[in-house]
């Protein structure tokens, strides 16, 4: 049975399990195997099919204890949720677009009125306006929409940050040290 513990220890070293964790798991395993042997329980009875594959037993146990990362194909593998990544990217893009639109002041709306502006008796000689005169008013009509988009994007990014911190604190982002 001590050979089984040594093979597990080699697997833990290969997997990069820190020595304190490997020592603790090896001591626990040796103790359990020693008790089973004293009670007359065989290795196969105690561990089932794992008795013939110490490498997979060791890796499985280390993953369950959280000292090595889970394999990508494992059920419940720890990875970033796609919806959270997509939501964060969408909020960031909306923030950039809103900021650019506000910075450039585009699109502009121009209103042209034909006729002489009130209070103007005559047009200067170098004026490109026709004799009847033309009054032009330009405004950025989309500014309120851009401000609303900017505020919504900031709120969405704040919400995404809050979701990311909750996801990281729950231990789903990685393996504890």
Q: Which residues of 123-153 are buried (b: 16+ CB within 10 A; e: fewer)?
A: beeeeeeeeeeeeeeeeeebeeebeebbeeb
Whether 60 and 90 share a structural domain: no
For residues 57-62, give the mean pLDDT.
84
pLDDT at position 33, please? 85
Tell me which residue of 153, 156, 110, 160 sits closest to 135, measured CA to CA: 110
For residues 157-164, give the mean pLDDT.
88
User: Is it true that the peptide bond before 107 is cis, omega within 30 degrees of 0?
Assistant: yes
pTM for this entry? 0.40
Whether 57 and 90 share a structural domain: no
Q: How far apart are CA 11 and CA 170, in angstroms?
A: 28
Structure-token pair, residue 20: 């304190």
Whether 89 and 43 share a structural domain: no
Q: How far apart are CA 96 and CA 99, in angstroms?
A: 5
Q: How many CB atoms lie within 10 A of CB 29?
A: 20
Q: How far apart are CA 72 and CA 63, in angstroms?
A: 12
- Let me know if residue 123 belongs to a domain: no
Q: How far apart are CA 73 and CA 63, in angstroms?
A: 13
Whether 58 and 112 share a structural domain: no
Whether 45 and 87 share a structural domain: no
Which range marks the domain in which residue 31 is found? 2-65
Whether 53 and 91 share a structural domain: no
For residues 39-44, give the mean pLDDT.
84
Of the spans 14-23, 64-73, 86-95, 126-135, which averages the highest pLDDT?
A: 86-95
For residues 162-177, give the mean pLDDT.
63
Cβ atoms of 91 and 149 closer than 8 Å: no
Q: Does residue 134 have a pLDDT over 60? A: no
């Amino acid at each position: 049975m001590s050979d089984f513990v040594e093979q597990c220890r080699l697997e833990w070293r290969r997997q990069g399990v820190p020595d304190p964790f490997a020592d603790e798991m090896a001591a626990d395993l040796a103790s359990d195997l020693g008790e089973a042997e004293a009670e007359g329980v065989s290795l196969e009875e105690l561990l089932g099919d794992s008795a013939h594959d110490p490498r997979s037993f060791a890796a499985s146990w280390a993953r369950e204890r959280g000292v090595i990362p889970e394999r990508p194909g494992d059920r419940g593998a720890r990875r970033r949720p796609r919806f959270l990544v997509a939501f964060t990217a969408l909020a960031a893009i909306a923030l950039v677009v809103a900021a650019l639109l506000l910075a450039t002041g585009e699109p502009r709306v121009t209103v042209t009125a034909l006729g002489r502006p009130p209070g103007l008796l005559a047009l200067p000689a170098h004026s490109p306006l026709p004799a009847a005169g033309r009054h032009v008013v330009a405004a950025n009509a989309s500014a309120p929409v851009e401000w609303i988009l900017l505020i919504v994007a900031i709120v969405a990014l704040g919400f995404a940050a809050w979701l990311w911190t909750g996801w990281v604190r729950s231990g789903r982002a990685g393996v504890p040290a």
